């Protein structure tokens, strides 16, 4: 995401959730978004995916996490991560049921 695209996305975030706190690095496109509750996560993820990005949930109540894919990765990345997990933890003993396991 270029600087102008980052500014546009920040504007859209402000329009959707005025109380959200967001910062996006103009050069890398990586950012951090803090929402007062999980109600707008779906909209925020759609916005990020629409620009070719993704949205991972770092901190949220368990109820919010249960209802969504917290990693928000594209399928091709998820397949790669599953392959890495199988290679290094073929018995699925490290954090079973979490991440891509």
- At 24 the three-state DSSP class reads strand
Provide the residue ranges of all domains of the chain, joining segments of one domain with +: 3-70, 72-101
Q: Does the reported pTM lie above 0.75?
A: no
Please write the tens of the pLDDT for every residue from 14-73.
888 888 888 877 777 778 888 877 778 888 888 888 887 788 888 888 888 887 888 877
Tell me the C-alpha distance between 59 and 39, whole Å.
14
Q: How far apart are CA 5 and CA 87, in angstroms?
A: 37
82: left (phi over 0), alpha (psi -120 to 50) or beta: alpha
pLDDT grade for 87, boundaries at 50, 70 and 90: very high
């Amino acid at each position: 995401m270029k600087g102008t695209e980052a500014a546009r996305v920040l504007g859209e975030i402000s329009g959707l959730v005025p109380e959200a706190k967001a910062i996006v690095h103009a050069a890398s496109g990586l950012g951090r978004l803090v929402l007062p509750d999980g109600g707008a996560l779906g909209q925020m993820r759609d916005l990020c995916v629409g620009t070719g990005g993704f949205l991972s949930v770092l901190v949220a109540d368990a109820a919010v996490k249960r209802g969504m894919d917290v990693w928000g990765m594209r399928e091709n990345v998820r397949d790669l991560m599953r392959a890495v997990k199988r290679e290094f933890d073929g018995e699925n003993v490290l954090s079973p049921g979490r991440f891509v396991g």
